[in-house]
Structure 1
């Protein structure tokens, strides 16, 4: 199985685990025990190891904010969460509005991001929408980094995740 197929398989299995965490009312900040029990964070870390990206996460939108439901930082694996930010201050807003994947290999030269507040900090970004069976966006699965990276190693342009 290739990296792209592994990515789709890992993403598909991530949705039920995410929904179980969400149904417990603890999806935005799951504790270490919940993550170990579900294996979701470990699955994302394994997926991340197939790339040279620094970060991977499942993000969701709520009350105008973007929250990391599950997050993994290759350089700081003990850090379990990422900072909550306004949803318009992330590239998540492009995924949410288009219901489609969004990627940029280098935000500094991407004209679509000329006025975006994250442009100088998050240089590489590759996300796919996480949707329910009705097509409602629940959040995003993303790889991102503070330096330019090749998004083709993820191949998210062909992937959308729908919960059945």
Structure 2
């Protein structure tokens, strides 16, 4: 990472910590969401064969109950866990998702695994939307950097 990129990441981490200190996990998700075009930013916890939403920031303030839980096999989180991350800018056109029940429904998704130690998965940190969109490249290093910070706050 170039010196300028590291400096920018350090500044972003400092802003993230301020958002977290003033608003807790919800404030931290709100900060991360505001940096992207995505409607939702969430933390999902793996619970057996279910992904359970434990924190959700909805830019529109609706927080639909339909996002509260999803079977692991129907979720995009399964690909995060399998591949150590998953990104699709338009699921309707993503051949990896042929036959998936949310292909073309949940159109954009970026997720990273959350874990305390290698080989164990707590869940996922993700941005998603019903509209197709790409995650800005500069957001990925920040999300990777904040994942351990978030894990320190989760039970």
Q: Fold-level match, TM-score > 0.5?
A: yes
Question: Equivalent of 2:54, from 69, 73, 84?
Answer: 69
The answer to whether 1:112 aligns with 2:96 is yes
Quote how far apart the aligned CAs of 1:3 are.
6.6
Are residues 1:6 and 2:20 paired? no
Q: TM-score when scaled to structure 1?
A: 0.71
Structure 1 runs not aligned, ≥5 long: 18-35
Is the contact made by 1:4 and 1:155 (CA closer than 8 Å) also made in structure 2? no
Deviation for aligned residue 1:43: 1.1
Counterpart of 2:136 (choices 152, 155, 158) is 152
Q: How many residues align?
A: 140
Segments of 5+ residues of structure 2 without an aligned counterpart are 1-6
Question: Which residue matches 1:20?
Answer: none
The alignment status of 1:88 with 2:73, answered yes or no, reads: yes
Pairwise CA distance, 1:123 = 0.3
Structure-to-structure mapping, 1:13-162, within 5 angstroms: 39-76=24-61, 79=63, 82-98=67-83, 100-153=84-137, 154-155=139-140, 159=144, 161-162=147-148
Higher helix share: 2
Structure 1 outlier segments of 4+, above 4 Å: 7-11
